[in-house]
Amino acid sequence: MLKVDHLSIEIGGKQIVDKSSFFVPRGKITSIIGESGSGKSMTVSALLGILPPGAKATGKAVFNGKNLIAVSDKEMGEIRKAHLFTIFQDAANSFNSSVKMRHQLYEFSGRRTGDSSQQFQMKMKAILDELGLSAEIVEQYPFELSGGMLQRCMIACALYVEPDLLIADEPTSALDMVLQQEFIGLLKRLNEKQGTTILLITHDLDIVAEAAHEMIVMRQGEVVETGNVMTVFERPEHPYTRRLLESRF
Amino acid sequence: MTVKWIGKRMVMGMIVLLIVSFLSFFIMHAAPGDPAAAFYGGNAQTLNAAEKERISRVFSLDRPVIAQYGTWLAETVKGNFGVSYKEGRPVSTILFERLPNTLLLFGVTMFFIIVGSIWLGTAAGMKAGSVWDKGLSTVSIVTSSIPAFWLGILFISFFAVNLGILPSSGSGDIGDEGGFWDKLRYLIMPATVIILTHVGIYARFLQESIKVESRNYYVTVARANGIAERVIRKGILRNASIPYLNYIGMTIPSFFGGSIIVESLFSWAGLGQLTVKSVITKDFPLLMGGILLTGLIVVVSLFVIDLIMYVVNPRLRKGDVR
């Protein structure tokens, strides 16, 4: 699905990510785990073509036969629209505060799939219902909803568009424990029911253990270990992974 | 909710006008010089003390200032602005002769400043690091540093004296009833001076708000999820317009202050020029009328801006103070 090969990211001469290589298999939940500053969020930015100004990415990241690092802005835009969906950490700030949820949810979902406004309303209503959100939230503004509700709105859009690859960048770190559990459950359901490939970025081993099939361990800009979650948990090879696992209990 | 909000704004506007009138009344009376003498202008030396006293008594100038203010306020509330010392005509008549000119100048300049600054500011703000971006940052400093009166003098010397294509001063041909085109000829120079000295700084403000807004989290999220650039820009512009509108609101009073100078320079028969003239002649009723009417225009403009903000910013409507 996604094959990253020798991806390096540099900001102002400083190496943020150093020749990292990993593979995200289709239909699985793959997790990138690492402490803050390990370069996992930067890796996501590079994959999505949203690196901050001054940052430069080299290497390859082949997704559906296209190298995400080298494609033009226009092509990248089309790939993002047609194949990817990304949920970010800070749901409370992921929406424009002065625009009604209806318009924003439509732009994030119905507009991408080319549905009319009516089709969108029907389909979104069903999804929101399923996620335990009242249909009235579409008439509200983001600042009237809680962070947990907004994160569920994001996942509602992911459920709606059924992307080839869902990227979730620390989606639960702004949520409390109960909402975290619930959110991970939703991700798993998305993966099991719709077969969505998910790339889950986290710093929380519990989430990896709970949700992921494959894992990638990053440390100081380098990929130190990759493999099946069960295997890595049982027989960690890199000392850092071992330390990480020990600190869990 | 909305009715309550509008009501609150109106009460606040009235309080502002009350404070403005109170302060200007007292400052006016604290200024040196004898209004009774000013009333006689050039012949003031010929007045003896008894005559001065008589004039003061006739115009109630010998009463305490606070009592004078009370009387003035009571009459003004009834719609009676009094009679001009100098012209002997009702102040309201004189004000209404001047009002259209001021509204015309204010309306035309404000329109072009807003349209121009939105256009320039958006072009510059949306493309950070572009020629537009850097160009506007420089040009706005230059244009806003140029004093309006100096630019006005340059304009008069160039367009009226050297080229002779525009009238140097006034607001209409003498003896002419003044058609639209005639008025326009007189309007060009004062309006251009005000627009040129203001548009840059307003554009710069919008440019910065757009740049700040573009760095927001939701913009990255939207872009990463393939949302059309057009939609993203619309959202940015909407949010960036809130501080921009605030800025316009804050600067409207000083904008009027600046236009008084320009009106005087070009002898544009507006309220600003009238106010300056009545200060010189110590024509208290006319001065108070002029100040109050200018204050009213400012308050109404601020009210309109608040109203636009109320529509644009849902947080205001929802009473959210976060």
Helix (H, G, I), strand (E, B) or coil at B113: helix
Q: Closest residue of A to B313, CA-based?
A: A98
Give residues with Cβ within 8 angstroms of B50, minimum separation 6: none
* A50 Cα to chain B: minimum distance (Å): 7
Cβ–Cβ below 8 Å for B220 and A78? no
Dihedral over alpha carbons B196, B102, B246, B231 (to 10 degrees): -70
Closest Cα in chain B, distance from residue A247 (Å): 32
Half-sphere exposure (Cβ direction) of B19: Cα atoms closer than 13 Å: 7
Q: What is the pLDDT of residue B321?
A: 44
Distances (CA, A) of B321 to B178, B244, B250, B315, B317: 51, 19, 20, 7, 10
User: pLDDT at residue A95 above 90?
Assistant: yes
Sequence-ordered list of residues with C-beta below 8 angstroms from that of B92, at least 6 positions apart, any chain: B79, B80, B81, B289
- Residue B313 contacts A where some CB pair is shorter than 8 Å: yes
Record: contact B315-A108, CB cut-off 8 A: no
Mean pLDDT in residue range A55-80: 90
DSSP characters for B224-265? HTT--HHHHHHHHHHHHHHHHHHHHHHHHHHHHHHHHHHHHH
Architecture of domain B101-272: Orthogonal Bundle (1.10)
pLDDT in the model for residue B206: 94
pLDDT of residue B63: 82
Strands of chain B, DSSP E: none
The burial of A208, by beta-carbon neighbours within 10 Å (0-12 exposed, 13-18 middle, 19 or more buried), is given as buried
Confirm if A235 and A201 have CB atoms less than 8 A apart: no
CB B105 within 8 A of CB B190: yes
Q: Say if the Cβ atoms of A98 and B227 lie within 8 Å.
A: no
* pLDDT at residue A194, rounded to an integer: 86
Task: Give per-10-residue mean pLDDT for chain B (322 aa).
Answer: 84 92 87 72 72 79 85 88 85 90 91 95 88 89 90 90 84 66 85 93 94 92 91 92 91 86 89 88 87 90 89 79 42
DSSP state of A54: T
Its ipTM equals 0.89
Structure confidence at residue A87 as a pLDDT band (50, 70, 90): very high
pLDDT score recorded for residue B322 = 40
Instruction: Considering only the beta carbons, identify the residue of B220, B239, B322 that sits closest to A98.
Output: B239
- Is the CB of B217 inside 8 Å of chain A's CB atoms? yes
What count of other Cβ atoms lies within 10 Å of the Cβ of residue A46?
Answer: 26
B309 vs chain A: nearest CA distance in angstroms? 11
How many domains is chain A partitioned into structurally?
1
Q: Compute the residue count for chain A.
A: 249
What pLDDT, on the 0 to 100 scale, is given for residue B174?
61
- Residue A146 pLDDT exceeds 70: yes
Tell me the β-bridge partners of A57. A9
Per the DSSP assignment, residues forming a β-bridge with A5 are: A60
Interface check B71 vs A, CB under 8 A:
no
Q: Give the predicted TM-score (pTM) of the model.
A: 0.82
Closest by Cβ to A98, choosing from B217, B228, B238: B238
Residue B127 forms contact with A (CB below 8 Å): no
Residues of A in contact with B309 (CB under 8 A): none
The beta-carbon neighbor of A48 closest among B217, B224, B314 is B224
Exposed, middle or buried, B305 (CB in 10 Å: 0-12/13-18/19+)? middle
CATH number for the domain harbouring residue A75: 3.40.50.300
Report, as an integer, the average pLDDT of A131-152: 90
Q: Flag whether residue B222 sits within 8 Å of chain A, measured between CB atoms.
A: yes
Q: Name which of B225, B313, B320 is nearest A85 (Cβ-Cβ).
A: B225
The reply to whether B221 touches chain A by the CB within 8 Å rule is yes
